[in-house]
Chain A
Amino acid sequence: MAGTTTKMGIQYPTGTDYVKDGATAMQTLATNVDNKSGLVFIKSQAVGAGVTTVTVNAAFSTNFDNYRIIYMGGSASTFSDLWLRLGVTATGYYMGGSFTAYNAGAVTAVSTGLAAQWTYSGIGDPAGNALSVDVFQPYLADQSGIASSFFSLGNTRVGGAVYGVLNNTTSYTAFTILASAGTITGGTIRVYGYNQ
């Protein structure tokens, strides 16, 4: 190993290294990539037509403590909020935050206590659906947290930020996105793990 990459410091062999060491060099390089990547893509899920709920299994595991879930695109049959649940749990969700309408200045505070879901996780809109949340330690036997970038692809909607906790110590491997009203169609849900 005679060199390292500029941005991530990953070691690589040079052209004068022995060919017989190639397999070992590639294994070292692969291990370095495995250890140094920031967000690691886990899986994607295409959303079907006219669905009210989408459950994504095998999303969380012992490999990562914290995750980013992004659902973009498609459309909604009507204005809605996108809700998020972990596993099949339908109680104990707390959230607090604020948002502002895109073309009005007033800030509105929002909160939920002991709710059936994280209510302000994303926004469904005929123009497109948008959900981008960080979910903290859902797989660990500890409280799970969420940080939601609450925004819309519809230009008459809102932008804000909401944070919360699921007040139990259950370990989860799956999550469900729910439309608060009507249905959603299309778009892709992608799940990433924060490397550690």
Chain B
Amino acid sequence: MEDVWTEAELIEAYPLGSVFVQVDDDVEPMPEAEWETWIAGQVGMPKHPVGAVEG
């Protein structure tokens, strides 16, 4: 069974304020609405994506 991220795991690993976006030299915390969308988009994503195949 594929190992995927759950919402609880993601919120624990990446709480609001701990995730940033960068434009050139400016690094800003991800706004709350954007963070919620980002967390939702990560739910169900494999913990070992295509580039993470373990031999």
Contact = CB atoms under 8 A, between A and B. Distances in A.
Interface in A82-123: 99, 101-104, 108, 110, 119-120, 122-123
A101 B42 contact: no
A49 B55 contact: no
Contacts of B22: 47-48, 51, 53-55
Interface string B20-33: 11111101001000
A180 B55 contact: no
Contact of A102 (B18, B21, B24, B55): B55
Interface residues of A, number: 40
In this complex, the interface size class of chain B, counting residues with CB under 8 Å from chain A, is 20 to 34
A81 interface: yes
Nearest to B49: A81
B24 to A, nearest CB: 6
Interface stretch (A11-19, A64-72, A149-157, A163-171): A149-157
A50 B53 CA distance: 23
Contacts of A80: 49, 51-52
Contacts of B23: 55, 57
Interface in B2-55: 5, 13-14, 18-25, 27, 30, 38, 42, 45, 47-55
A53 B21 contact: yes
A163 B51 CA distance: 15
Contacts of A32: none
A111 B40 CA distance: 24
B53 A101 contact: yes
B20 to A, nearest CB: 5
Contacts of B25: 45-46
A50 B50 CA distance: 22
Going nearest first, the 8 A-B pairs with the smallest beta carbon separation are: A79-B52, A104-B55, A48-B27, A103-B55, A101-B55, A123-B51, A81-B51, A55-B23
Interface of A: 45-57, 77-81, 99, 101-104, 108, 110, 119-120, 122-125, 150, 152, 156-158, 180-183
23 contacts: A45-B25, A48-B27, A50-B19, A51-B19, A51-B22, A52-B20, A77-B13, A78-B13, A79-B49, A79-B51, A81-B49, A81-B50, A81-B52, A101-B53, A102-B55, A103-B55, A104-B53, A122-B51, A123-B52, A150-B51, A156-B52, A157-B51, A183-B20
